[in-house]
Amino acid sequence: MTRRKLLRSAVACAPALLLSQKTAAERPNVLFIASDDMNNNLGCYGHPMVKSPDLDRLASEGVRFDRAYCQYPVCGPSRVSLMTGLRPDTTKVFDNQIAVRDTMPDAVTLPQLFRTNGWHSVRAGKMYHMDVPGSVGTNKWDDPPSWDVSISPPGSEQHTKGEGRNITAGRRAGWHWVSFQGDGKDQADERATEIALETIAKTREKPWFLGLGYLRPHLPHVAPARFFDLYPLGSIQPVVNPPGDRDDIPRASEIAINTRANDMGMNEAEKKEAIRAYYASISYMDWQVGRVLDALEKQNLRRRTVVVFWGDHGWHLGEHHRWHKRSLFEESMRAPLIISAQGRRGNGKGCRSLVEFVDIFPTVAELGGLKPPPNLEGQSLVPLLDNPARPFKSAAFSTVTAPDGIRGHAVVTERHRYIRWTGPHPDEELFDHEKDPREYTNLARVPGKDALLKRMRGVLEAGWRAARAKV
């Protein structure tokens, strides 16, 4: 049977994939929350300044994954990979301007699996790629087979009335922020929350899968003034990189980051201003999440709702003088992941095991009592929901592409990160997280590391199949 016929068969037989014959009242709802350009700067992840009480609450009710890695540190490819449970080498999506059906017309997406099996599938906001702010309010690059209801709320974005400015105006890349009064009725995230609240209140005839996609903290950083007030400029300390930090960073890596390297030309005051706006956007998004969690409680639905929160990739705030994603450093590859399912023994705990975003699809499918398509390239995290301390994968993998055929492949193990760059500027990077957690010393340039380099090259070349958990 060809791969295409296999996938068509999976869709056609989807109603038969239920592991048990459950009634609508017994089958769980799924609240699937995405945050855009979200790094791990949250209170529940130990950040000393960021105020995120509602996500902290969610983490206390579920399992917080401390080492969750995306498969491509850019919005579109990461989201397609996550929503299909397939890695970029399989999806062939290496750019933002590609929809899932462009390369995989017969793919079975996560919400599509639930929809075909009787769940009411709703999208409110950004779940697949959406240019921000350019295509906010449009359905560009969305996936109609995934949803019964699909809404991209419009928003004022950088045109919001309030106090603000573009910190880096006139330079190659902008950093725009706006602080406004009120709650933001003209904001896409506010409108997405309202759609979510309506869905929760009115959907009773069948279980629902709600994809709730928030734009914040993606640029432009737009948030109510009260969230900016949480972060006085004098209390913010920009990252201090050691002298010569960029001397051992490969040329290919610098090309990949493009216009957001070299601190974007910002001085210390501007860096503080930029960080403050990012933090305010996080707290605004967190408040929206809290409203939805409160609605679940009010409707007595919390116990029968699986809640998943994820950021599509990380984000640099000055590390290695970078202010972007699109790198294979820790800050860009790692992103938050919280899964809360009632009755799991690991709830309220953190998990240090290596996990990947391709693992989310099989996990949520299992929690819903569904058998996923047989071609998925991740593993269910359900065993970690009951025992977060158990061993899992031995490595996590990510990739990124850049102009002129540049491509980077990264592998992270318990202690090390190895990066191989191919194309016109071939090179290597190797970091020891135990001795150098901020990845300032590229050991591939240090004499005497041949044995370690050989071992890590072998891990990368063996690939994700060799790193699978023994379950």
Question: 450, 405 in Cβ contact below 8 A?
Answer: no
Given the residues 44, 70, 120, 129, the one annotated as active site: 129
Distances (CA, A) of 294 to 58, 212, 288, 298: 11, 15, 10, 6
Q: Which residues pair with 233 in a beta bridge?
A: none
SS3 463: helix
Residue 235 neighbours by CB distance under 10 Å: 10
Q: Give CA angle at 317 (64, 98), nearest 5°.
A: 75
Helix (H) or strand (E) holding 101: helix 100-103
Distance separating alpha carbons of residues 239 and 160, to the nearest angstrom: 29
Given the residues 75, 120, 221, 316, the one annotated as active site: 75
Distance separating alpha carbons of residues 231 and 279, to the nearest angstrom: 8
Distance separating alpha carbons of residues 194 and 180, to the nearest angstrom: 19
Distance separating alpha carbons of residues 189 and 56, to the nearest angstrom: 20
Nearest to 382 by CA among 393, 361, 399, 367: 367
SS3 76: helix
Please give the structure tokens belonging to residue 102: 């462009």
Please give the structure tokens belonging to residue 178: 């706006």
Please give the structure tokens belonging to residue 365: 């499918």
75 is catalytic: yes
Distance separating alpha carbons of residues 109 and 358, to the nearest angstrom: 12
Distance separating alpha carbons of residues 46 and 43, to the nearest angstrom: 5
Question: 292, 124 in Cβ contact below 8 A?
Answer: no
DSSP code for 468: -
Distances (CA, A) of 17 to 143, 205, 254, 308, 379: 22, 21, 46, 22, 18
Residues with Cβ within 8 Å of 367's Cβ and at least 6 positions away in sequence, in order, are: 28, 30, 306, 341, 382
Given phi > 0 = left and psi -120 to 50 = alpha, else beta, which region is 199? alpha
Residues taking part in catalysis: 75, 129
